[in-house]
Structure 1
Amino acid sequence: MSAVDLRMLLADARHSGVYFVDARDTEAMAQAAGGLGYAVLRIDLAGCADKAALLRRFAAAGGFPDWFGHNWDALADALADLSWKPAAGYLLLVEHAGDWRAAHGEDFDTLLEILGEAAARWAEADTAFWALLPLPAELLSALEG
């Protein structure tokens, strides 16, 4: 996909959501989102031990305010607000999620649900909100199969 096509895709808030993507496309997506004036939040889950660590990483990447309560409800509230990080749209890159998914399946499902709800709320406001989970090509192929 060309850079222009990628920007057109990311600019369309109606298609916002949570997607597994090829890890090789991560930088192109981040650059395209940056070119659109989006806030690009990179949440690296490499070595992430548990839910508490995951929430800390989201808080750090998003510059969450002091009121962030480090629980699922607080994450949902923070992602639905983002008033401290005004932008034309939002791109979350949840990197190295494969191992965390394998080790914390139920929590991973909860995270996907929260991200999906946030994307739907932002889309209703006509603001793009993309939560992308880059995976190695072979793992991505296994999910599609």
Structure 2
Amino acid sequence: MTAPQFHTLLSRAEKAGLHRMPFASDLALEEAAESLDYPLHRVNLAQVTDKEAFLDTVGKALNFPDWYGHNWDALADCLTDLSWMAADGYVIILEHSDAFAAAAPADFAMALSVFQDAADTWREDGIPFWTLVGTSGTHTDWLQDME
């Protein structure tokens, strides 16, 4: 997909949600997010193998406020607030998720559920909230491709 194609897609709140990170599209995706003035945050999960590390890594990558409680409810609260980086849309890339998915499949599924719920909440306000999951494994075969 090209940057103009991503630009069109990223602006559509009804299409936003949880998706597989498109292969070899980093630059085009970054260009599209930048052209829309959407913050794009990369969350490197390469060293994450448990819930605590996931919550800490996400909190740091997204610059969560001091009141962030490092639990699923606090993650949901922060993802549906984002007042410290107000924008017309958001793109979050969960990079290198395979180790977390393999080591803690239930927590990985819960984490993705929280991100999908956040996208659903933002969609009600017409704001696109994209979470792209970077994986090379079979733990996320069920994820949709961006289209």
Task: Determine if the TM-score, normalized by the shorter chain, exceeds 0.5.
Answer: yes
Mapped partners of 1:72, 1:90: distance in 2: 20
Equivalent position SS for 2:49: coil
Whether the aligned pair in 1 keeps the contact of 2:38 and 2:88 (CA below 8 Å) is: yes
Label 1:13 to 1:126 Cα distance change in 2 as closer, same or farther (>3 A): same
In the alignment, is residue 101 of structure 1 matched against residue 101 of structure 2?
yes
Q: How far did 1:102 drift?
A: 1.2
1:25 corresponds to: 25
1:63 corresponds to: 63
Mapped partners of 1:72, 1:122: distance in 2: 18
Superposed CA offset, 1:13-45 (max 9, x none): 111100012342233212211221001111100
Alpha-carbon RMSD across the aligned residues, in angstroms, is: 1.6
2:117 corresponds to: 117
2:72 corresponds to: 72
Q: Which amino acid aligns with 2:5?
A: D
Mapped partners of 2:101, 2:28: distance in 1: 24
Mapped partners of 2:117, 2:7: distance in 1: 23
Mapped partners of 1:34, 1:134: distance in 2: 20
Equivalent position SS for 2:113: helix
Q: Which amino acid aligns with 1:85?
A: M
**Higher helix proportion, which one?**
1
Task: Extract unaligned runs of 5+ from structure 1.
Answer: none
Q: How far did 1:49 drift?
A: 3.1
**Higher strand proportion, which one?**
1
1:143 to 118, 141, 144: 141
Q: Which amino acid aligns with 2:40?
A: V
Mapped partners of 2:26, 2:57: distance in 1: 18
In the alignment, is residue 126 of structure 1 matched against residue 145 of structure 2?
no
2:145 corresponds to: none
Task: Extract unaligned runs of 5+ from structure 2.
Answer: 143-147
TM-score by length of 2: 0.89
Equivalent position SS for 2:19: strand
Whether the aligned pair in 1 keeps the contact of 2:49 and 2:99 (CA below 8 Å) is: no
Structure 1 stretches of at least 4 aligned residues deviating more than 2 Å after TM superposition: none
